Amino acid sequence: MPTSRRSRDTDRALRLARRHSPQTILLTVECMRDPTASWSDRLKAVHIVLQVGLPKDPDAIAKALGEYRGH
């Protein structure tokens, strides 16, 4: 049975996303920390950072937050 492969366009899009992800996260964090930005924009940035940065597993989140707090 033949296996399906991603298209070249999909592979290209994934490579571009991976290449620009660090810059995108830095820009998002900059917005989050910008005291001149609206609260709405800052909270959207916080949401993005948490969605991308936290693991999906609740136990892994608890562990990550525990390590962050120094426990």
- The tens digit of pLDDT for each residue in 9-60 reads 989 998 988 898 888 888 989 999 999 999 999 999 889 888 877 777 878 7
Dihedral of the CA atoms 23, 26, 32, 36 (nearest 10)? -80
The verdict on pTM exceeding 0.85 is no
User: DSSP assignment, residue 43?
Assistant: H
pLDDT for 69 equals: 59
pLDDT for 31 equals: 92
How many residues in the chain?
71
11 class by beta-carbon count within 10 Å (0-12 exposed, 13-18 middle, 19+ buried): exposed
- What residue ranges do the domains of the chain occupy? 8-68
pLDDT bracket for residue 70 (50, 70, 90):
low
Cα 16 to Cα 19: distance, rounded to the nearest angstrom: 5
